[in-house]
């Protein structure tokens, strides 16, 4: 019997033949209705699930799949995958850390440039037949703060430093010994040391609302913030208030708390740029991500170590009540 993989991701259809050619049987369920139906109908057949961070896989769904052995998450984030439920069952969880780093970093820089140079407003003005001379800051010589210096953060730093002559500082869970960038001990210190701030840290409990009013006030009225990570890292109400009151200069956001819903307050602000969570989407990144999923699945079902395991919590005793 071939290994059956439940695919919950909606953006990778063109690359699913990579998995089919490796002999995996795929069940596609990209909508909430299809997802519920597939889990109910194929409950005993599903060996693996392919999902992404915002889509997750919840404890009740894991419980409904008695033969589930591995969960593969595309992208780095896995915030809505119930790791405790997986650990309790001995289910392996993998992610795609680093595969789409170039795509996300490109989008982060595109957002930063568009925001700082006010490209959308200039474009809209020209389309209206206007010819405004809008004076905007340059990026060269500015201080860029990066919250989270993993694969994405490093790719952003490389582009900003080598391509735009920016000075890089960062806040990370631990100091990186392989870079000469300046480490800041707190997000507030990072914001105070930055002209522009890019959020590139994973989502989840450990990074929830790291960016709040205190941090935004430290960034200041001339500061810009870009978020290509997870919306949960920024306290959205604090961000909206700072933008409305011009306590920061502007924000560019690719991620939102209740996607695809976006707060109306953000849509009406002229100092905000919005994109629909597409930073990690490129043909190159998507192909690489699916190829990594295939390698992890092949390794796992061949009895070999997976390439990108996620560390799970300790299993809880099923006898404890």
Catalytic residues: 230, 259, 277
End-to-end CA distance of the chain: 37
Give 42-47's long-range contacts (Cβ < 8 A, gap of 24+): 42/4, 42/6, 45/4, 46/4, 46/5, 46/6, 47/3, 47/4, 47/5, 47/301
- What does the alpha-carbon distance between residue 106 and residue 152 come to, in Å, rounded to a whole number? 10
Nearest to 229 by CA among 87, 321, 101: 101
| Residue listed under structure tokens 């795929």 | 26
């Amino acid at each position: 019997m071939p290994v059956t993989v439940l695919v919950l991701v909606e953006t990778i259809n063109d690359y699913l033949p990579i998995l089919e050619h490796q002999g995996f049987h795929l069940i596609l369920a990209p909508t909430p209705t299809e997802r519920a139906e597939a889990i109910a109908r194929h409950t005993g057949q599903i060996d693996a699930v392919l999902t992404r961070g915002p889509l997750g896989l919840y404890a009740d769904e894991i419980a409904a799949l008695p033969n589930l052995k591995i969960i593969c998450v595309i992208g780095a984030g896995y915030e809505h995958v119930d790791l405790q439920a997986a650990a309790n069952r001995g289910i392996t969880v993998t992610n795609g850390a680093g595969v789409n780093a170039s795509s996300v970093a490109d989008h982060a820089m595109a957002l930063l440039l568009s925001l700082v140079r006010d490209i959308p407003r200039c474009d809209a003005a020209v389309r209206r037949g206007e010819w405004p001379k809008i004076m905007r800051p340059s990026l060269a010589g500015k201080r860029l703060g990066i919250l989270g210096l993993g694969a994405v953060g490093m790719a952003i730093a490389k582009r900003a430093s080598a391509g735009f002559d920016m000075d890089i500082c960062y806040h990370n869970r631990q100091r990186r010994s392989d870079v000469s960038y300046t480490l800041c001990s707190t997000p507030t210190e990072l914001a105070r040391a930055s002209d522009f701030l890019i959020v590139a840290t994973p989502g989840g409990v450990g990074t929830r609302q790291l960016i709040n009013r205190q941090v935004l006030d430290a960034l200041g009225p001339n500061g810009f913030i870009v978020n290509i990570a997870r919306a949960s890292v920024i306290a959205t109400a604090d961000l909206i208030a700072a933008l409305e009151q011009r306590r920061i200069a502007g924000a560019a956001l690719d991620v939102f708390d209740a996607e695809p819903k976006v707060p109306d307050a953000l849509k009406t602000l002229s100092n905000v740029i919005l994109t629909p969570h597409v930073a990690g989407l490129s043909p190159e990144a998507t192909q690489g991500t699916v190829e990594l999923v295939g390698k992890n699945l092949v390794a796992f079902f061949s009895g070999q170590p997976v390439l990108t395991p996620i560390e799970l919590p300790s299993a809880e005793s099923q006898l404890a009540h």
